[in-house]
Structure 1
Amino acid sequence: MPDRAPQPVDRTLPTEEARDLIALVREIVQREIAPRAAEEEEAGRFPRELFSLLSESGLLGLPYDSEYGGGDQPYEVYLQVLEELAAARLTVGLGVSVHSLACHALANYGTKEQRGEYLAAMLGGGLLGAYCLSEPSSGSDAASLRTKAERDGDDWVITGTKAWITHGGVADFYTVLARSGGEGARGISAFLVPGDAEGLSAAAPEKKMGMKGSPTAQLHFDGVRVPDARRVGDEGQGFAIALSALDSGRLGIAACAIGVAQAALDESLDYATGRRQFGRPIADFQGLRFMLADMATKVEAGRALYLAAARLRDRGLPFSKEAAMAKLFCTDTAMQVATDAVQILGGYGYTADFPVERLMREAKVLQIVEGTNQIQRMVIARHLAGPESR
C-alpha cells in the first residue's frame, strides 16, 4: 500500500507566523517525508538529507533565541511541529526532538561566548546533535553514571561508554554528561564534544524492532580530550542541567507520541470507512465505532495535555509534573491506539503492506525513552505526595 501524508489536524495556533510555519511543515511532509517513509524505514536508511533540509528551513532551532539562529517559537508551537513530523515518520520527529535536547545545555547554561561560538551552527548551520546521558549500567539511575572526565591542565579527558544514543555515530556534536568529581549527582559535569573528536568511536547500531532508520548506538570515549571552554555550566552542575533538559525532552516525546497515535487513527478511519463486510462499511458496526471513538478521544486528550504543559513552560512556570504526566499519558495512548489500529485492520494490520504494524512497533519505544513510564509515575507521585520516607 503506498505511503500517504497524514491527514491535517485542526490546530489552535497563537500567531499568523505559527500558522505559516505549520503550513511549511505540512508541505515538507507531503513532498519529502511521507512518500518514502515506509520504504526507508524498512531499509534502515538514516535520512540525513532530511535533517539538512529541516535545518535550511529553520526547523531545527525553533524554540531557541533568534540571536543565535533559533526560531523564537514558543514550545506550544514547536511541539505541534514535532507532532506533524512524527505522524509522517517517527525517525524524523524524534530526531528533531533529540537534536533540540542536545542544544538545551548550551542554549540555557552556556556562557555568552560559548553561545556565540557554537550555537548558531548547532541551531541552523546544518549540524545534527545527540544527547549522551545513559550508560550500559545506568539508565533510569542516571546519577550513578561512570564515564569519567578528568582535568588535565586546560583540558578534560573523557573516558567511558555511553549507551542508547540516538544519532550515535552520525551526529556532528554530542552533549555529554560525565563524572568530574565525587559520587552522586553533584559530581557530574556537562561537555560539548565534537563528533569527530579523536578517541571517540561508535559501536554498530542496535538492531531494533522499530525506528530502524534512526541509528541507536553505544559511544566509546577513549581518552577524548575536550578543552575547558567546551564545559557547559559550572563543574558539578551537569546533573541539574540534564534534569532540566529532560523535562523539556519529555514534552517532545509526548508530542511525537500523539503524532504516531494520530497517524494510526487516520489509517483506521480510512480503512474502516472503505472496507465493506456484510454489505456495508465496517465503520457502521457499533463495536468498531466505539473503538474509533475511544481512540480519537485519547488522542485529543493527549494533545491537550502536552499543550497545557507547554504553555506552563512558555510562561516560565514549573512544569516538571505536567511534563511527566504528558509523557506518560501520550506514550501509553500511542501504544493503545496503534494496537487498536492493528486490530481494526485485522489480518491486513499485521502485514507490512499497511503502516499500522510499523506504527505499533514504533509506539513501544516511546514508553521507554526519556525516562520509562514507570519513572514518570515516580516523578508524578513525588510531586503529589513528596519523596518516599525511606
Structure 2
Amino acid sequence: MDAKPTPTRCFEGSERAADFIARVQEFIRDELQPLAAEHGITHESGAPRALLERVWKRSRDRGFYGVTLPEALGGAGFALVDHVLIKEAIYASGSPFAAHVLGELTGPPRVGALARYATPHQMERFILPVARAEKAICFAITEPEAGSDAGALQTRARRDGDDWVLDGVKRFISGSPFCDFAVVIASTSEDPAVRETTAFFVERERQGFTVEAGYKTMAGQSHTGNIVLEGCRIPAGNQIGERGRGLALALGRITVNRVLHCPAMLGLARLALDDSLAHAATRRQFGQPIGAFQAVQHMLADMATELAAARALMLGVARTLDSGAEARAEASMAKLFCSETAFRIADRAVQVHGGEGIVQGSRVEFLFRLLRMYRVLTGTSEIQRNTIARELLGAAVH
C-alpha cells in the first residue's frame, strides 16, 4: 500500500496568496531546509542569533519578511484569510525556521500594530529597524503574578524628570534571549490598587535590563526567557502612545491575533496527519501494512475529519473579520477548538506510530509536546471559554 498525501483541496484564498505560498515553499525547500541541515538545526536545538539574522535578511530580500506590515511600511495588504493560509503552509513545511520566515517571533508582526502610535523618532529607532530585519523585538507583558490576569502587573514605571525608571520581572517572554529591545507593559499608577498600564520601548543595552534565559519549554525549545528590570532608566520619549493605555495598545488586535495562532497549530497538525498516513502505509504487522487495520483507519479518519472542521472554523472566522464584523467570541472559539483539536490529532499520531511515536527524536513525539503547549499559550483554553461565555451572555442580556 503506497503512502498517499492528505486529500487535495481547492485553494480558499486569492491567486496572489497562492503565488506567495508557492514562492515561500520554494524558499523553505531550497534555502532554509539545506541551511538547517548544514548547521544541525532542529525544532529543539534552536539556532544562534547570527544564523537567525541570515534567515531574517534572506526572507526580507525575497519579499516575505515584512508581508504583515501596514502597506505604508511595505506590507502586502493580504486579507486575513490569505494570511492564515500563508502561515498554515509555512508551518506545514516542518521547517525549524517556520517562526522566522515572516518574523513572527521577533520581527514585523510584533511592531505592525504599533506603527500608528509611534512618534517619528520611535519609527526610526525601533519600528523601521525591525521591519528591515536589522533588529529583533519582543513583547513583555507576562509576569510571575500576571498571566491570564494581564492587568495585575507588578512591574512599575515611575517618572523621574525627563526619564522613566522601570523595576520588575517579566516572565516567559518569547524571543527575549535574542532581542535588541522589548515592548514592556508596566504599571504607572501611584496607587497600587489602581490599574493603570503604559507601554514603553526598552533597549536591551540599557543599564538595569537583564535577560535570564537557559530554561526550556516542554517542547525542548529555548527561545523563551525572563526580563529583569532593576532601576532601568529610559527617556520619556520611549513611552508608546498615551499613558494608561498600555494594555489596550498591547491587546488591541487580540481578536485577530487569536485567529492568527490557529494556522500554526493546524499546519503542525497536518504534519502529524501526513506522517501518520505515511507510517500506516509502510509499517507492517501480521503480514500487512497497519493501515489495513480498521482501528488505525478510524484514527486516521478522525484526524482528517477534525482537521477539516478546525480549518473550516478558522477560515470562517477570518472571513467574518475580513468583512469588518466583530467576532470576539468566534475568534476565541477558533483558538479553543483549533488548539484542542490539533493536540488530539498529535495524540492519535503518537498512537498510530506506536513505539516509534514515544521515542524522543521522532517528529510526532515532538509535535505532541509542542501542540500540548498551544492549549496554554496566548490565552488558555479556559480563558477562551470565559470570553465565549461572556460574549454569549452579553448578547443574551441585550
Q: What TM-score, normalized by structure 1, do the two folds share?
A: 0.88
2:42 is aligned with what amino acid? E
What is the rounded CA distance, in whole Å, between the counterparts of 2:178 and 2:44 in structure 1? 19
RMSD over aligned Cα atoms: 2.8
Q: Which residue, out of 189, 193, 197, partners 2:206?
A: 197
Q: 1:219 to 1:373 in 2, by over 3 A?
A: same
SS in 2 for 1:217: strand
What is the rounded CA distance, in whole Å, between the counterparts of 1:9 and 1:369 in structure 2? 30
Q: Which residue of 2 aligns with 1:3?
A: none
What is the rounded CA distance, in whole Å, between the counterparts of 1:115 and 1:223 in structure 2? 25
Asked whether the 8 Å contact 2:142–2:150 carries over to 1, the reply is: yes
Q: Which residue, out of 276, 295, 299, partners 1:291?
A: 299
What is the rounded CA distance, in whole Å, between the counterparts of 1:74 and 1:183 in structure 2? 42
Q: Which residue of 1 aligns with 2:246?
A: 238
Instruction: Tell which deviates more after alignment, 115-124 or 198-207.
Output: 115-124
Q: Which residue of 1 aligns with 2:78?
A: 73
Q: 1:334 to 1:385 in 2, by over 3 A?
A: same
Alignment of structure 1 residues 332-351 onto 2, 5 Å: 332-351=340-359
Query: How far off its partner does 1:339 sit?
Result: 0.8
Q: 1:11 to 1:232 in 2, by over 3 A?
A: farther
Asked whether the 8 Å contact 1:97–1:249 carries over to 2, the reply is: no
What is the rounded CA distance, in whole Å, between the counterparts of 1:114 and 1:142 in structure 2? 25
Q: Which residue of 2 aligns with 1:374?
A: 382
Q: Which residue, out of 121, 124, 139, partners 1:131?
A: 139
Q: What TM-score, normalized by structure 2, do the two folds share?
A: 0.87
Alignment of structure 1 residues 1-390 onto 2, 5 Å: 10=9, 12-34=11-33, 36=36, 39-46=41-48, 48=52, 49-89=54-94, 92-94=97-99, 96-99=103-106, 100=108, 102-111=110-119, 114-115=122-123, 118-181=126-189, 182-183=191-192, 186-212=195-221, 214-386=222-394
Q: 1:272 to 1:39 in 2, by over 3 A?
A: farther
Asked whether the 8 Å contact 2:32–2:95 carries over to 1, the reply is: no
What is the rounded CA distance, in whole Å, between the counterparts of 1:215 and 1:269 in structure 2? 31
Asked whether the 8 Å contact 2:94–2:271 carries over to 1, the reply is: no
1:351 is aligned with what amino acid? V
Asked whether the 8 Å contact 1:68–1:115 carries over to 2, the reply is: no
1:156 is aligned with what amino acid? W
What is the rounded CA distance, in whole Å, between the counterparts of 2:181 and 2:63 in structure 1? 18
Asked whether the 8 Å contact 1:102–1:174 carries over to 2, the reply is: no
CA deviations over 1:8-28 (Å, ceiling 9, x no partner):
974625433212210122112
SS in 1 for 2:251: helix
SS in 2 for 1:159: strand
Q: 1:208 to 1:353 in 2, by over 3 A?
A: closer
1:29 is aligned with what amino acid? I
Asked whether the 8 Å contact 2:185–2:197 carries over to 1, the reply is: yes
Higher helix share: 1
Asked whether the 8 Å contact 1:13–1:19 carries over to 2, the reply is: no
Asked whether the 8 Å contact 1:144–1:183 carries over to 2, the reply is: no
Asked whether the 8 Å contact 2:152–2:195 carries over to 1, the reply is: no
CA deviations over 1:313-345 (Å, ceiling 9, x no partner):
333322222221111111111111111001001
What is the rounded CA distance, in whole Å, between the counterparts of 2:31 and 2:6 in structure 1? 16
Asked whether the 8 Å contact 1:199–1:222 carries over to 2, the reply is: yes
CA deviations over 1:209-262 (Å, ceiling 9, x no partner):
2152x4110001122223333222211011112222333332222111101101
Task: Give aligned pairs, total.
Answer: 383
Query: How far off its partner does 1:67 sit?
Result: 1.7
Q: 1:308 to 1:170 in 2, by over 3 A?
A: same
Instruction: Tell which deviates more after alignment, 236-245 or 137-146.
Output: 236-245
What is the rounded CA distance, in whole Å, between the counterparts of 1:186 and 1:69 in structure 2? 36
1:171 is aligned with what amino acid? C
- Stretches of structure 2 that go unaligned for 5 or more consecutive residues are none
